[in-house]
Amino acid sequence: SFGRPAMAQQSAPPVAGAVRIQSNECWTGPFSEGVAAAAMLAKEGNRYEPNGEHAKLFAAVAEVEGIPEDHILAWPGSSDPLNRVVVTFCSPEKGLVTGNPSYEQSWRTSQWLGVPLERVPLTAAYAHDPKAMLAANPNAGLYYVCSPNNPTGTITPLEDIVWLAENKPKDSVLVVDEAYIHFADVPSAAKLAATRDDVIVLRTFSKLFGMAGMRLGLTFASPALHERMMRYDGGQVTNMLPMTAVACGTECLKQTAKIAARKAELTSVRAQTLAHLDARGVKYIPGSQANMFMADWGTLGTPKEIQAKFLEQGVQIGRSWDAMPTMSRITVGSAEDMQKFALALDKILMA
């Protein structure tokens, strides 16, 4: 691996042939309409923008979300804008405040930049605690709320998010990461981003839409905030996107019935999986509205040991977080994946 920097792996790399329930991917790929649109666009891959693909995507998003098109930008996933908000709005003087446990990427970016980081424990209901977040740093550059939260899948009520927007200093920015919102039964903060000039919502097609490897994400924010995020590449962010992904996302967004069916499938498989844990007396964090949950092994073994035992049986589960050291994150895969997970669990418990 000459000249290749060590990758900051979020999860262990995939193991060939294993049930992949370690990194919150969707168990299946994009809807067939999206795949067909991507195949068409591949034929026109010589053009930067064959038929106004961005405009079509923004029109589709505006329609679904009820927000103005000039408040929408597209990105190769949501990781890039998540890094950018830290780079843009934080500094050694302007800190970052997040929940704990939560998605760690902004932590890593803040540490690299020398930005003061406050990680504020979730509430007893596993929601973000906006009052404690504001108290932890009343003058932060950025407040980051992940809802549904990774790794717990739990929700922060919109009224608490609104409270934080209204009570933080005007010149700090609130980012609401809604990577998993399509699986949830709660309202989005999209309208907040559409009506205020200090709130950014992050979205991705990597989860319900099954496009993690195709790469497509969105931000909702005022044009002025977007302009600040794009300063270092001269506003040319859109040229980083493959048109195949843009066209695929546009078509997938329109599949209202399929979106509802995929969400219902996830909800049902998650409920069956949690019922199995209940039956076996294995504890977990309740209230997940996403394609993941935290299983608590108690004294059964450390998360690393349990992870290795699952892997011996061809099931690759996720890792632990330092705030929840006896637990592992489990992604909810297909019904078949989760049957294999349940069988492997039973063997581990009986050993």
Segment interacting with ligand PLP (CB under 6 A) among 73-81, 137-145, 186-194, 297-305: 73-81
Element (H, E) at 59: helix 53-65
Those residues whose C-beta lies under 8 Å from the C-beta of residue 275, and which sit 6 or more positions away, are: none
Q: Which of 57, 145, 179, 241 binds ligand PLP (CB under 6 A)?
A: 179
Q: Report if residue 204 touches ligand PLP, rule: CB under 6 A.
A: yes
DSSP labels for 184-227?
A: -SS--SHHHHHH-SSEEEEEESSSTT--TTT--EEEE--HHHHH
Q: Which of 22, 24, 250, 291 binds ligand PLP (CB under 6 A)?
A: 24
Give the nearest distance from C-beta 115 to ligand PLP in angstroms: 18
Segment interacting with ligand PLP (CB under 6 A) among 78-86, 116-124, 136-144, 239-247: 78-86
The encoded tokens of residue 291 equal 């394609």
Q: Report if residue 249 touches ligand PLP, rule: CB under 6 A.
A: no
Q: Is 41 or 146 the residue whose CB approaches ligand PLP more closely? A: 146
Q: Identify whether the C-beta of residue 198 lies closer than 8 Å to the C-beta of residue 221.
A: no
Distance CA 152, CA 2 (A): 37
Q: Which of 27, 58, 61, 78 binds ligand PLP (CB under 6 A)?
A: 78
Strand pairing category for 327-331 and 72-75:
unpaired
- φ, ψ of residue 120 to 5 degrees: the values are -105, 125
Give the contact letters, 99-138, x = binds to ligand PLP (CB under 6 A), - = no.
----x-----------------------------------
Beta strands across the sheet bearing 327-331 = 283-284, 292-296, 327-331
Q: Identify whether the C-beta of residue 44 lies closer than 8 Å to the C-beta of residue 50.
A: yes
Distance CA 323, CA 182 (A): 26
Q: Binders of ligand PLP: how many residues, by CB under 6 A?
A: 14
Q: Identify whether the C-beta of residue 150 lies closer than 8 Å to the C-beta of residue 292.
A: yes
Segment interacting with ligand PLP (CB under 6 A) among 13-21, 76-84, 110-118, 183-191: 76-84
Those residues whose C-beta lies under 8 Å from the C-beta of residue 11, and which sit 6 or more positions away, are: 22, 23, 318, 319
Segment interacting with ligand PLP (CB under 6 A) among 74-82, 111-119, 127-135, 155-163: 74-82
Q: Which of 177, 198, 251, 337 binds ligand PLP (CB under 6 A)?
A: 177
Q: Is 145 or 247 the residue whose CB approaches ligand PLP more closely? A: 145
Give the nearest distance from C-beta 231 to ligand PLP in angstroms: 21
Give the nearest distance from C-beta 210 to ligand PLP in angstroms: 11
Distance CA 202, CA 262 (A): 21
Q: Report if residue 342 touches ligand PLP, rule: CB under 6 A.
A: no
Nearest to 25 by CA among 202, 204, 270, 210: 210
Distance CA 318, CA 76 (A): 24
Q: Is 192 or 292 the residue whose CB approaches ligand PLP more closely? A: 292
Q: Which of 30, 34, 77, 153 binds ligand PLP (CB under 6 A)?
A: 77
Residues that bind ligand PLP (CB under 6 A): 24, 77-79, 82, 103, 146, 150, 177, 179, 204, 206, 212, 217
